[in-house]
Amino acid sequence: MARKKFILNLPFRQIRKSDCGKPFANDLSTINKVTLCDLVPENRKNNYVFVYDVNGDVLAFLAFHDTGTHFHLDLAETNRMFETDLKPGRKLVLLVEEISAHLGYDKITLYSVENKISLYKCLGYRKTGKTLQDDVYGVLTEMEKPLS
């Protein structure tokens, strides 16, 4: 499958090498140790990393995988170093849902940590009943959102 080319307008864009070293701290950073530099090489093939950029500051990122039939959200995190009411993480999820529907995909899937399940439920995601034990995150619950 060929890599898709997305045309994004600020504040949305794909991650860049110049994002390395920019300050980013979030709820999961203490356990997963993921930095923006770690995400740059992940933005290739069928994997994408979008960021929410305001004046050069990365307020959130969303990493996802294109399966060819739907998008699977891998990691969505908001930068806690910036106080904002913009809800950049939520807006990135909504952007990817919009792109997914435009491509004709009928759903989006993800695995959620326990304390984020209610957030995804508010966005229309539902539990599928499947769980996954992860060495870093513990129990992850599979969720999906139909886009029809």
What pLDDT does residue 87 have? Answer: 94
Contact 52, 89 (CB under 8 A): yes
- Separation of alpha carbons 79 and 11, rounded Å: 14
What pLDDT does residue 71 have? Answer: 98
Residue pLDDT tens, the chain, 148 long: 789 999 999 999 999 999 998 989 887 777 788 899 999 999 999 999 999 999 999 999 999 999 999 999 999 999 998 888 999 999 999 999 999 999 999 999 999 999 999 999 999 999 999 999 999 999 999 999 999 7
The length of the chain, given as a count of residues: 148
Yes or no: is domain 12-146 CATH 3.40.630.30? Answer: yes
**Could you give the residue ranges of the DSSP H alpha helices within 1-148?**
29-32, 36-39, 88-102, 117-122
131 membership: H or E segment, kind and range: strand 126-134
This prediction has a pTM of 0.94
Q: For residue 82, count CB atoms less than 10 angstroms from its CB and return exposed for 0-12, middle for 13-18, buried for 19 or more.
A: middle
